[in-house]
Structure 1
Amino acid sequence: MNIFGSEVSVAALRERTGDLASVAGVREVVLGNGVERGVRAVQLRSAAGLEVEVLVDRALDLGGARFRGVPFGWRSGNGFRHPGLHEHSDEGGLSWLRALDGLLVSGGLDHTLFGNEVDATQYRYPPKRTVAHGLHGRLTAIPGRLLEAGEVWDGDRCTLRVRGEVVQATSFGEHLRLTRTIEVDFDGLEIRLYDVVDNVGYERTPHMFLYHLNFGWPVIDAGTELVAPIAETTWQSDSAAVQGVSYRVLPDPQPGFVEQVYEHRLVADEDGRHRVALIRGDSTFGVEVSWDAATMPSFFEWQNLRSGQYAVGLEPSTHHVTGDAAAREDGSMTWLEHGESRSYRTTIRVLDGVEATTAARDAVRRVAGQPEGSNL
C-alpha cells in the first residue's frame, strides 16, 4: 500500500505500529452539541489523507469531507441537523433546505425535485386519495440502521466500509428500503457509494432518486471550471438568463446571487458511465464524480454562488427536472412492484495536483466536447 508517499507492505506496517488506526481507519462517534446533538456518525480516514463522515442518522448521507485537512465538501451553516427537528411539510414544503449541509444530501425515495400533490390511489386507502411531497422528499430526515462499520481485509488489501439501511414507510403507503454501502480504500483517494433501493411493501410504488453532491471552497473559487461531456443543455432556471453567470467557469462570491440550475444532457463513456469534474483555475486540485448513466440518466448543475453560501452541486438523478407529476404523465416514472429493486454506483474522487486534473480533463474530452455557454 502507498503510505505517506512510500510503498509499504502490510507486514512492514504492522511492525511499525501497534494500531493501524494510527494510519487509517474507521471510527464511530456521536455529535453532541447544538442542532447536531445525538446524531450518530462514522468517520472514514485513509492513509492518503482522505477523510469523510457518514451521517448514520441522516439517511447515511455524507457530511464533512477533507483531503489532507483541506475541505472539499460544502458546509452551508445549517449543521448536520438532528432528524427529530425536521418538519417535512413546513415552509410550504421547503423545510428540506434546513437540512441541506454536507458533501451528499440524498433525495427520494418516492419523490425528488420540487414539492407537489400527486395521486395515491394505488395504495387503496380511501382517506388518502393524494399524497403531498416537499422538496426532494422525505429520505433526508430518516435515521439509518447501521449494519457494518470497520476494516475489511482481502489479502494485503484493506477497505474501510460502512453499510446500513434506511426504511421509508407508512401504513397504507410506500414501504421502500435503501441499503447503502460506502467504501474508501485504506490508502485511497476515492469514495465509492453503492445503493440498492427495493420495495418491501406489496403495493406498486413510485421511485425517484437524486444525489445532491455539494462542493465548497477552496475547490469552488473564482476560475473553477465544470468539465463535463455535455451534448446539450436542455433546461435552465430563469435566473441563469437574467444574471449572465457562466455555467462553466465560476466567479467570486456574489452578494444576493439567485441560485442557478441547469439540466445538461451528458454523453456516457465506453463503460456506460457519466463523468464530470470540478477543477480549480490553477489546475492544482479538483474532484471528479462518475456514475452509471443507465440508472441516473439525468444531471443537474446547481450554482449557489451567493456570498456566505458559495457552493456548486453536481446532481445525478433518475428523472428530469420537470419532476414527479410530469414523470407520471409522460410515462417515465419508475414504478417498483413488491420485491423489485434498483441499484446505483457512484464514485467521488479527489484530483490531487496538475497531473491528476489534466488526466481527468483529458478523459472527459475523449468522451465529448463541451459548449462554452448554455445553448438556451
Structure 2
Amino acid sequence: MVRLWGGEYGRRELLRRVGRLEQVAGVRLVTLGDGAGRGVRALEFRTGSGLSFDVLVDRAFDIGRCEFGGRSLCWLSGVGTSGPWFYEPEGLGFFRTFGGGMLTTCGLDHTLFMAEDTAEQYHYPPKRTERYGLHGRVSNLPARLVGYGERWEGEGCVLWAEGEVLQAAVFGERLLLRRRVEARVGESRITVRDEVENAGFDPTPHMYLYHVNVGFPVVDEGAELLAPAVSVTPRGDYPAEGYGRFHAPEEGYVERVFEHELAAEEGGTVPVAVVNRRLGLGVYQLYDRNQFPHHFVWRMLGEGTYVVGIEPSTNRTAGRLDARRRGELIRLRAGERRAYGMELGVLEGESEIERFARRVASSKARRARREGEAR
C-alpha cells in the first residue's frame, strides 16, 4: 500500500484519483540551463511524502539538492552545481567543483588527501608513479544513464534510476561504478546500491567513501550527532569531547575531523543520524560495517561553509600511504567486483528521533555485552 497524507491507497485506488502518477510522485529528467551547471543532467525525484531530491547524472549519479517539506536536508556549497568538465584534478582542485549536496562519492581508486603512489601495476615505464588529488576523480565524471522511472510492485510503487560511471585511462585504471538509486512512493528514505568492478586486466587499487553532507536547518545551534561510538579519535590537535554537539556558525572556524569506531547491529548495520530536536527534524544514515569498516565526522561549522559530514569509508583518515603500510589498501583483481550500499532518510518529529536514538543506544549496548562475554 502507498501511504499519502494520512490515507492508504492500493495501485488501482490511487490511479483512479490522478491523471498521471506524477501528480503525486515521480522521476523527471531535466537539464540545467545556466551558469557553471549548464548542460548537467539531473533526475528530479518526488516521493509524495514531502521528500524531493536530485540525482546528478553528470556528476557520478550523486545526490545534490535534497529537501523535506520545503526544508533543506543537505548543505549546498558556494560553488553550486558545476559541470564535470571544470574539474581540476591536482592537489585541492576538488574544492573548485565541490557543490556539496546530500551525497558526494569519493574514489574510485583514491580517497582522502593527496598522495603519490606507485603505478607499476600498469606496466608503462614513463609512468612510474601516479599523483592523486583530494578524494579522487569519480564525483567529477558523468554517468551513462541506463534507465529511470516508476515501477509498481504489487500495491507499492518504486521510483528508480540506474547509471554507470567509468573511470579509465590508457595505461591506467579501468574501474566501473554501477549505481541504482531507489525511493518508494509515500516514504521518506533513499536507497543507494553500488557495485564497483575492475573492468581492466591489471590489479588496481581501490578506495571508496560516501561524503554525506547535512546542512541547515538540520544543522544549527543545539543540533546533535547520534552515533554508537565506542571510541573517538580527533584528526588534529583538538579535543574529542563534545564532538557530537553543534553550535552556530563561527567566524574563522577551522574544520575538525573525527574518526570514531562505531558499534554495529546484528547483521552489521550501523545507524547514524544528525538531529535537530528543536525542529523535530533529522537525517539518518544506515550502512554496512562489513563494507565500510571506518566512519568519520566532518565538523565544518564556519560561516557559509556550515556543514556536518557523516562519512562511511573503506579506509582510515590517514589515507592511502598509511593504508598501504598497514596492508589495508584494497587491490581489485581483474574482473573482481565489490558491493556497497546505504540508506538515507528523514526523521520527522520527536517520536521518530527518540526511536532512532534508542536504536543507536541499543547498538552500543550490544557491543558492550559482547565484549563483556568475551572477557
> Could you tell me the TM-score, scaled by structure 2's length?
0.95
CA distance in 2, matches of 1:82, 1:5: 40
CA distance in 1, matches of 2:246, 2:260: 17
Question: Tell me, what secondary structure is at the counterpart of 1:65?
Answer: strand
Structure 1 unaligned regions, length at least 5:
370-376
What letter matches 1:31 in structure 2? L
Match of 1:97 in 2: 95
Give 1:22 deviation, angstroms.
0.5
The answer to whether 1:352 aligns with 2:353 is no
CA distance in 2, matches of 1:237, 1:350: 31
CA distance in 1, matches of 2:329, 2:235: 22
Deviations 1:194-237 (A, max 9, x none): 00000000000000000110010010011101011001013422
Match of 1:88 in 2: 89
Q: Which aligned pairs between 1:239-254 and structure 2 lie closer than 5 A? A: 240-241=238-239, 246-254=242-250
Match of 1:207 in 2: 206
Give 1:283 deviation, angstroms.
6.2
Match of 1:191 in 2: 190
CA distance in 1, matches of 2:241, 2:77: 21
Alignment: residue pair count: 364
What letter matches 2:93 in structure 1? S
Deviations 1:228-276 (A, max 9, x none): 10010134223x34xx883111011101100000000111111211111
Structure 2 unaligned regions, length at least 5:
366-375
Match of 2:25 in 1: 24
Give 1:343 deviation, angstroms.
0.4
Deviations 1:96-147 (A, max 9, x none): 1122221111110000000110011011100000000000001111111100
Match of 2:368 in 1: none
CA distance in 2, matches of 1:128, 1:236: 32
CA contact (8 A) 2:58 2:141 kept: yes
What letter matches 1:313 in structure 2? G
Q: Which aligned pairs between 1:1-376 and structure 2 lie closer than 5 A? A: 1-89=2-90, 93-100=91-98, 101-238=100-237, 240-241=238-239, 246-282=242-278, 284-368=280-364
Bigger shift: 340-349 or 244-253? 244-253
Deviations 1:126-170 (A, max 9, x none): 000000000000111111110011011212211000100000000
Question: Tell me, what secondary structure is at the counterpart of 1:282?
Answer: coil
What letter matches 2:359 in structure 1? A
CA distance in 2, matches of 1:270, 1:99: 39
Cα RMSD (Å) of the superposition?
1.3
CA distance in 2, matches of 1:362, 1:349: 17
CA distance in 1, matches of 2:234, 2:299: 14
Calculate percent identity across the aligned residue pairs: 42
Deviations 1:59-111 (A, max 9, x none): 1100000001111011111111111111211xxx1011122221111110000
Question: Tell me, what secondary structure is at the counterpart of 1:364?
Answer: helix
CA contact (8 A) 2:10 2:156 kept: no
Question: Tell me, what secondary structure is at the counterpart of 2:16?
Answer: helix
Question: Tell me, what secondary structure is at the counterpart of 1:153?
Answer: strand
CA distance in 2, matches of 1:124, 1:203: 9
CA distance in 2, matches of 1:99, 1:312: 19
Bigger shift: 227-236 or 314-323? 227-236
Deviations 1:170-193 (A, max 9, x none): 001100000000000011110000
CA distance in 2, matches of 1:14, 1:134: 50
CA distance in 1, matches of 2:45, 2:84: 22
Match of 2:370 in 1: none
Give 1:4 deviation, angstroms.
1.6
What letter matches 2:15 in structure 1? R
Question: Tell me, what secondary structure is at the counterpart of 2:126?
Answer: coil
What letter matches 2:51 in structure 1? L
CA distance in 1, matches of 2:133, 2:76: 22
Deviations 1:286-341 (A, max 9, x none): 11101010110100000110011111000100001111111111100111011101
CA distance in 2, matches of 1:11, 1:153: 11
CA contact (8 A) 1:283 1:358 kept: no
Question: Tell me, what secondary structure is at the counterpart of 1:368?
Answer: helix
CA contact (8 A) 2:88 2:96 kept: no
Which of structure 1's runs of 4+ aligned residues deviate more than 4 A?
A: none
CA distance in 2, matches of 1:180, 1:152: 17
Give 1:365 deviation, angstroms.
0.4
> Could you tell me the TM-score, scaled by structure 1's length?
0.95
Give 1:282 deviation, angstroms.
2.2
CA distance in 2, matches of 1:282, 1:69: 17
